Amino acid sequence: MNAPVKLYEGKAKILYATDDPGVLLTYFKDDATAFNAQKRGSITGKGAINCAISSHLFQLLEAEGITTHWIDSPAPTEMRVKAVKILPIEVVVRNIAAGSLCQQTGIALGTVLAEPLVDFYYKNDELGDPLLTPQRLLLMELATAEQADTLRLKALQINEILSEFFQSCGITLVDFKLEFGLDAAQQILLADEISPDTCRLWNQSETDPARRVMDKDRFRQDLGDIEAGYQQVLDRVLAQPIQPGGERML
């Protein structure tokens, strides 16, 4: 058998071609980066944990009527996905103020937002993933106005589903980042991953601001016990079976 053809290597994942042009294989790495790769490290077992959490959450979202790129997970660190063209937009949904929102606005860490905030960022490492205005998104032709509306609506719908799910795990979904792609029919599918690398997740049984962190902030802020935080998210997520819910309207 020929060696698999590597199509792209990112900071946390590698994308391979398969025999089917409509299907790609994602390999989840243990490598961790933060602050646009200025901080680098490795989190033992992270690849398998993030692959398992993402697979579970993609299946949950599919059961709730959200179309995703997920097909299956043939090995612990591998996910087969539908081939899509990734839109160069990072869609961040925030329920509670943290991270760059606090740094850029002065809003205090932990402030519950009156309604979820959807922020678009330009996915471009050289430019440091800058925050976009809706007008700049259109100016740069990163998406059409209709696609941007769809991304916003889908992100809010996903936020409702995931917030409720994490609540049932005793975890608060503070904020998270999504990426979307277009399939051959120009349909918008949820892509990339949803994991402690891409979400802020706070353990509801801890009140201490450092102890409650179960996500990549443990790595970003050198809080220690990173693997344990990720593993606890996985254990709690897998303990919640997926109940098919049918499409939800906003």
Choose among ligand TMP, ligand ASP, none what residue 84 binds, the Cβ cut-off being 5 to 8 Å by kind. none
Choose among ligand ASP, ligand TMP, none what residue 37 binds, the Cβ cut-off being 5 to 8 Å by kind. ligand ASP
Question: Please, what is the minimum distance in Å from the beta carbon of residue 5 to ligand TMP?
Answer: 27
Question: Please, what is the minimum distance in Å from the beta carbon of residue 242 to ligand ASP?
Answer: 27
Angle, helices 46-63/145-168, rounded to nearest 10 degrees: 110
| Radius of gyration over every alpha carbon of the chain, rounded to an integer in angstroms | 17
Q: Which residues of 81-97 are buried (b: 16+ CB within 10 A; e: fewer)?
A: bbbbebbebbbbbbbbb
Choose among ligand TMP, ligand ASP, none what residue 175 binds, the Cβ cut-off being 5 to 8 Å by kind. ligand TMP
Residue 3, number of CB atoms within 10 A of its CB: 6
Q: Please give the residue ranges that form the binding site for ligand TMP (CB under 6 A).
A: 92, 98-101, 129, 175-177, 198-200
Element (H, E) at 200: strand 199-203
108 to 147: interface string for ligand ASP, x by CB under 6 A: ----------------------------------------
Q: How far is CA 93 from the centre of its chain?
A: 10
Residue 151 CA to residue 131 CA, distance in Å, equals: 16
Q: Which residues 177-236 are close enough to bind ligand ASP by CB under 6 A?
A: 216, 220
Q: Which spans of this chain sit near ligand ASP (rule: CB under 6 A)? A: 11, 33-37, 216, 220
